[in-house]
Structure 1
């Protein structure tokens, strides 16, 4: 998962500036909220939520064999690029 560092906010920023954070979520699709430099929550824009909801509903409609096929098609862990929240949290300080 690629996380744009400008889409990360602290819990205290979220509390103090909810409107600005909501606007940021609308701009980026979602923002990640950190509490004590650890992931705490994700705020989705309604547009992003609706987009993801369609996908989630589709996955929920799959039967066992189809779920297995879908799972096999996902990238393997060693092929995924990942970022630690500690690293990302340090970038917003």
Structure 2
């Protein structure tokens, strides 16, 4: 996963400047919060959260055959991280 340094904030910065961090998450879609220089949490904008929620609900609706088809497709391409939601859905519909 590639994370832009713009999207990283420290835990202490989050505590001290919540409003600024929230605005940053709105602009970037999400920010990653580090505690002791290690990933600790992610703050999503509501827009990004809604997208993820829809996708998660869609994944829950799939049967095992569809999931196996996705996994096989991703393994063949070698890099699942860079697939967009629309690419995954098009692979399922195949």
Matched residue pairs, number?
A: 81
Between the aligned partners of 2:74 and 2:16, the Cα distance in structure 1 is 39
* Cα distance change of structure 1 residues 80 and 50 upon mapping to structure 2, 3 Å threshold: closer
Q: What is the match of residue 89 of structure 2?
A: none
After TM superposition, the score normalised by the length of structure 1 is 0.78
What SS class does the counterpart of residue 42 from structure 2 fall into?
Answer: strand
- Is 2:18 the partner of 1:18? yes
Q: Tell me how far 1:58 sits from its aligned partner.
A: 0.6
Gaps of 5+ in 1: 82-93
What SS class does the counterpart of residue 39 from structure 1 fall into?
Answer: strand
Say which structure, 1 or 2, has more relative contact order (CA 8 Å, 6+ apart): 1
Between the aligned partners of 1:13 and 1:41, the Cα distance in structure 2 is 13
Q: What is the match of residue 66 of structure 2?
A: 66
- Is 2:33 the partner of 1:33? yes
Give the aligned CA root-mean-square deviation in angstroms: 2.0
Between the aligned partners of 2:28 and 2:69, the Cα distance in structure 1 is 31
